[in-house]
Amino acid sequence: MKKVRIGLAGLGTVGSGVMRLIRANSGVIEQKTGLQLEVSAILDLDFSGKEALIPPTCVATTSMEEFEDTEQDITVELIGGTNVARKVIEGALAAGRGVVTANKALLAEQGQELFSLANGQKLRYEAAVAGAIPVVQSLQSSLTQNNIIKIDGILNGTSNYILTRMFEERLSYEEILPEAQRLGYAEADAGFDVDGIDAAHKLALLANLAYSSYVPFASIFVQGIRDIKVIDIEMADRLGYMIKPLGIAKIVDGHIEVRVHPTMIPKSHPLSTIRLENNGVFYDTDYSGEGSLTGKGAGSLPTGSAVVADIIQLGLQNTNPLPFTTEQKYSIAEAQHIQSRFYLRVMTQDRPGVLAKISGILGDHDISLASVMQLESNTEIVPLTMVSHKANEQSMMDALMQVKKIPEISAEEVVLLHIEE
Ligand code: HSE
């Protein structure tokens, strides 16, 4: 039996899950791995209400110095944010300890420096991407021998939860968000979830492993779900699509395309069945073919489970998985490189000639319409929705700027969605 001493920084939602799992499953972990996991130190700002989670021999402290002075083989960083968390990780790496983190924001934004320090080893982050789903370890091992043609991921549970309930119950975004927060899926700042930032952090990490190229977080195209209304959900439904919050990564003409946006996908797409807070990663590869990994992308116990998986891998000395790449091999695909079908909704005064103006602008930009719909209504402002054939993204953006200037159209209420087949 090998003892592994763990220092846990952050006893919040995920930290509590880690403590619960280690306490409940120490027997099965010992039996399967020969490792005896012992949490020897916990760092947190406040321990009130959490006393029952602290083992009797564990040092529970609010002092970073005292925490760092304890005996640890592995430091687990679950503080979140990018300041104190980074100090904890740097300190642990400098002390030669293994590090496990769930901090996707820190790794996506400052991963180049941190992984340089870690020298590609001893810093593991399964829980940072899609919670309990073993997608990081899959890319680091089972799929390494394949060229990854494409990754489509539902990587944010909160956004998926909101869009699922909008679809199933025809409730509005505003009605559902508080419930997602109450259930503990949302980040401290829910803007990270609904504006696509959390998913972009995760996509940067997945694309790095899939394509062995550093993906600067700031270069990822990001669109959130705030502007989506029930009318968009209904229109997508009529056309045979669902709207899902997707992160997409693929190589196009020697550039890497990395984007996060609400996307219309056919109801037959494997990710259309991923409901509520669940996450899913669909991949296409040259030899293993298509596949998907699905499961719980958020929450205390599922994310805690992924943290413990990494602790075990480090405990077993499996310290050399496919590393995070700090060198940028591919340039990022810009809008002019991207072809997609689009859904466009405008809110317009119901006057003669508006549709002609819009289709004229689209035609001038070489964008061909596949369908146009306006539902009968006796209100002054009506939704007008269009679906295009495949078009250049830059042309669509340029056309959109002109469409927003049509006097009958409310420029603030224009919604443009990508469609993936
Ligand atoms: N807030 C995230 C989500 C969970 O909603 O998916 C942690 O990454």
pLDDT tens-digit map of 192-243: 999 999 999 999 999 999 999 999 999 999 999 999 999 999 999 999 999 9
- For range 280-288, the mean pLDDT: 97
In contact, 77 and 10? CB cutoff 8 Å: yes
Tell me the pTM.
Answer: 0.94
- Determine whether 247 is exposed, middle or buried from the number of CB atoms within 10 Å of its CB (0-12, 13-18, 19+): buried
Structure tokens at 355: 């549709």
218 CA → ligand 1 middle, Å:
19
Q: What is the CA radius of gyration of the chain?
A: 23
* CA of 303, closest atom in ligand 1: 7
End-to-end, the C-alpha distance of the chain in Å comes to: 51
For 291-338, write each residue's pLDDT tens digit: 999 999 988 999 999 999 999 999 998 766 788 999 999 999 999 999
Alpha carbons 143 and 231: distance in angstroms, whole number: 40
Backbone torsion region of residue 340, taken as left when φ is above 0, otherwise alpha when ψ lies between -120 and 50, otherwise beta: beta
Q: How far apart are CA 98 and CA 89, in angstroms?
A: 9
Within 6 A (CB) of ligand 1 lie 156-158, 185-187, 193, 198, 297-298
Quick one: tokens of 228?
Answer: 């989506």
Write out the H or E segment, with its range, that includes residue 149. Answer: strand 148-154
Mean pLDDT of 114-137: 91
Q: What is the mean pLDDT of residues 256-272?
A: 97
Instruction: Supply the pLDDT for residue 401.
Output: 96
Catalytic residue among 104, 122, 202, 296: 202
